[in-house]
Amino acid sequence: MSIDLDAANKMIAAGIQIARGLKLQPMTLCVLDTGGHLVSAQRENKSAIMRFEIAYGKAYGALGIGHSTRFMQESMAARNPQFLTALSVASAGKTFPVIGGVLIRDAAGELIGAIGVTGDSGDNDERVAVAAIEQCGFKADLT
């Protein structure tokens, strides 16, 4: 099972509301299903150029390796940076291994998709992603 449009839209709306409450920079959020297909995306007014590509790449990268982009940035980059370069080549440049891509699991722990959030610092992007996932009744997987 993959995340559906209704849940993805609710998650994005929650993320935007959370970001506004935290007074963060304008955000862009993308939700992908387990096959890496775009389910929903939104870009806030004044969100910087290329933010869609970054948000998409964060979610796509997380799905591609089965880990959060925090894991990619903090663990994989330190141990084997060549792997991340090869991953970028293999994905035709679709991956963006920077904090803000989080796997989404249902109540039973099954993977249903990923969200990519960008616009502020990586830590704040991830904070918005996790809060939006949890607010919608799902589990954020940061491993």
Condensed to tens digits (0 to 9), the pLDDT of residues 73-130 reads: 999 988 998 998 999 999 999 999 999 999 999 999 999 999 999 999 999 999 999 9
CATH at 89: 3.30.450.150
Question: For residues 65 and 140, what is the distance between their CA atoms, to the nearest angstrom?
Answer: 16
pLDDT in tens, 52-76: 999 999 999 999 999 999 999 999 9
Four-residue CA torsion sign, 92, 16, 76, 97? positive
pLDDT band at 131 (very low <50, low <70, confident <90, very high): very high
Number of domains in the chain: 1
Query: Contact 33/142 with Cβ under 8 angstroms?
Result: no
Q: Which domain holds residue 40?
A: 5-141
Unique residue bearing structure tokens 């993977």? 111
Question: What integer pLDDT is reported at residue 77 of this predicted model?
Answer: 86
The phi and psi torsions of 85 (rounded to 5 degrees) equal -65, -45
Specify the pTM.
0.97
Tens of pLDDT, residues 9-38: 999 999 999 999 999 999 999 999 999 999
Distances in whole angstroms, Cα of residue 13 to Cα of each of 5, 9, 21, 68, 107: 12, 6, 12, 21, 20
